[in-house]
Structure 1
Amino acid sequence: MATITAPARRAAPVTEVVPLWRRVPAGLLFVLPFLFFYVAFLLFPTVWALVLSFFNESLTGTRGEFVGLSNWTEMFGDALMWKAMGATLYFTLLSTPPLVLVGLVMALLTNRVMPLRWLWRPSYFAPFLLPVSVVALIWVWLFQPGFGLVNAALTALGLPELGWLSDPGVAMWSVVLTTLWWTAGFNFLLYLAALQAIPQDYHDAASIDGAGWWQRLWSITLPMLRRTTGLVIVLQLLASLRIFDQVYLLWTGSGGPGFAVRPVLEYVYDTSFTNFRFGYASAISTFFFVLIVTISAAQFRIFQSREERP
């Protein structure tokens, strides 16, 4: 009688145990250092500032108590905060157009027309490399009454001297002039790089058709600089809204005559490190951060909609 034997059981395949560190994508390993510093020095402070805005936190070492929306309610009724917010927005409106236009004009001049452009290019960008302390010291001397170069030029033209650092109605213009001289070189560099990326064939073809320099500027150059202009405007708005260094150094932390030029960031600095109200300063910082993000998103949306138009 034949016996039926069961088929031999096959041995299960041996699976190799892959270490956890080998399962991580290689690209993630390269960005881990950036993610660490991003979370530690940007994301965590932002979230922690939002948390502190609900506490009566102080830098004196006392334990902060939960106050809910008390800091936020006080902030919206703070006249000094709104005055600082108005000064910040006013400076942004005054400084953004000339900084964009001057950077564009300097780039157009040094791109093809101006002689000795190898000398003018570094000259335009050189002030941007100076530290803000040096820039403020230079312009404090320039704005001095009596012997300052700016008032001397006005006197030579038959105009009266102005109190650049003492008159509340003129103080903001002194900040604009200082910032224009200091930071216009960055926008100039962006525009110059964009101009050099425009193919020369477009200008040559337009010249053959009889187009002059002005027609080529409006029909070729400026339309092809649309993306760069959008980038420059957004970056300049962000930089102008975050103004602090120039104002603080020009008036040694006093906020100018009658606090006429004190920006929001200086008010936050005074609230936290002078009045030791860190929770209230955190509420103002969070509100200002949301305002900057909203303005930036609106700007990107506006330029994106313009690019999508036929």
Structure 2
Amino acid sequence: MSEVADGRPRRPGRAGREGFVRARFITGFLAAPVLLYLVYVISPYAQAFSIAMTDWRGVSAAPRFVGLANFGRLLGDGVFWRAVGHNALLLVLLPLLTLAIALFFAFLLNAGGQGGGVAGVWGSGFYRVVFFFPQVLAVAIVAVLFQQVFRPDGSGMLNGPLIALGLEPVGFLSDPGVAFWSILAVLVWQAVGFYVVLFSAGMASIPREMFEAARIDGAGRVQLFARVTLPLLWETVQVGWIYLGIAALDVFALVWVMTAEHGGPDHSTTVMAAEVYRNAFQYFKFGYASAMGVVLFFFTVAFAVLALRLSRRERIEF
């Protein structure tokens, strides 16, 4: 027989009744959110899986069941696998470049000041606002903005000075060998500011005494970053890597608005999401597009699981 805090014996079964009441309260509280999640998140996934097994064209009332035929077609679709290759390249380069640049700037803002101590640079608050500014712009606005930046004539921000100097303009969006890297540069430009602010907040939470102790022991800026800052920010970096990886697999609007032929030229910038949209709403192959979406879904889930496993390390308390 258990006892409560004042020493009086508790009647048998009271704990069980309290647990039942608590469980009923939690269940009732979560019922509506779970129902909404099932209807608006799980249900569309289930419908996409079922549509991927048909030849539905978006208008027919009774689509024909074709089993795994759509997935078999994907194996021989060169354009789709080219899109997969572009997403895979973005999956590696976008997180790597964005996180590296964001960590560098965040460390400068928080520990790159002058003097013997550890302090941020002068005006770091203003720089955070400037870095974060691209986040307030809609993706379509960013795409239209950089269409003008990359213009191949004299009015382009980049090609204008080249033409004025008598040099050949660069086809940032018209050259198949350059267009993909132009898209990658815009993605990094748009994303890096958010992670500068995120990492700055994480660094601000690290006790300054840890930096001071490392400086007293003779650590330089590089050692401060590698031995103190990065290990204590590892969980934040891990989350950022997963978010950016998912963003790399979900790139659509920027490619669709910026590039010629919505993924061109010559499919040099196309991605999986663009091929899903093209097949569904231009070619009206909703069953085939759903099969692409299912493949994209499993790629995203597999990446998230692998990223969590590979980046797992012992948590450091401070």
Identify the TM-score tier after normalising by the shorter chain: 0.7 to 0.9
Task: Map residues 226-265 of structure 1 onto 2, 5 A cutoff.
Answer: 226-251=234-259, 254-265=262-273
| Residue in 2 that maps onto 1:92 | 91
Structure 1 residue 271 and structure 2 residue 279: aligned? yes
| Residue in 1 that maps onto 2:41 | 42
| Residue in 2 that maps onto 1:6 | none
Partner amino acid for 2:295? F
Query: Shift in Å at residue 68 of structure 1?
Result: 1.4
Greater radius of gyration (CA) = 1
TM-score, length basis structure 1:
0.86
The CA distance in 2 between the partners of 1:117 and 1:277, in whole Å, is 51
User: What are the ranges of 5 or more consecutive residues in structure 2 without an aligned counterpart?
Assistant: 1-16, 111-118
Cα separation, partners in 2 of 1:154 and 1:36, compared to 1, 3 Å? farther
- State the identity %: 31
- CA deviations on 1:260-282 (whole Å, 9 max, x unpaired) are 11110110111111111111111
Cα separation, partners in 2 of 1:203 and 1:136, compared to 1, 3 Å? same
The CA distance in 2 between the partners of 1:154 and 1:200, in whole Å, is 47
Query: Shift in Å at residue 44 of structure 1?
Result: 0.8
The CA distance in 1 between the partners of 2:314 and 2:162, in whole Å, is 44
2:156 to 148, 169, 173: 148
| Residue in 2 that maps onto 1:128 | 135
| Residue in 1 that maps onto 2:174 | 166
| Residue in 1 that maps onto 2:145 | 138
Query: Shift in Å at residue 153 of structure 1?
Result: 5.0
Query: Shift in Å at residue 119 of structure 1?
Result: 0.9
Cα separation, partners in 2 of 1:43 and 1:252, compared to 1, 3 Å? farther
Number of residue equivalences: 289
The CA distance in 1 between the partners of 2:97 and 2:247, in whole Å, is 14
User: What are the ranges of 5 or more consecutive residues in structure 1 without an aligned counterpart?
Assistant: 1-17
| Residue in 2 that maps onto 1:113 | 120
Instruction: Give SS of 1:258's match.
Output: coil
TM-score, length basis structure 2:
0.84
Question: Do the aligned partners of 2:173 and 2:260 also contact (CA within 8 Å) in 1?
Answer: no
Cα RMSD, aligned residues only: 2.4
The CA distance in 2 between the partners of 1:259 and 1:220, in whole Å, is 44
Query: Shift in Å at residue 23 of structure 1?
Result: 8.3
Task: Map residues 49-64 of structure 1 onto 2, 5 A cutoff.
Answer: 49-64=48-63
- CA deviations on 1:228-263 (whole Å, 9 max, x unpaired) are 221111111111111001000102652120011111
Query: Shift in Å at residue 133 of structure 1?
Result: 1.4
**Greater alpha carbon shift after TM alignment, 135-144 vs 211-220:** 211-220
Partner amino acid for 2:182? S
Partner amino acid for 1:300? L
Query: Shift in Å at residue 95 of structure 1?
Result: 2.2
Structure 1 residue 83 and structure 2 residue 82: aligned? yes
Query: Shift in Å at residue 96 of structure 1?
Result: 2.3
Cα separation, partners in 2 of 1:34 and 1:186, compared to 1, 3 Å? farther
- CA deviations on 1:148-197 (whole Å, 9 max, x unpaired) are 11223556788643101100000011111211121111221221121111
Question: Do the aligned partners of 1:247 and 1:253 also contact (CA within 8 Å) in 2?
Answer: no
Cα separation, partners in 2 of 1:214 and 1:69, compared to 1, 3 Å? closer
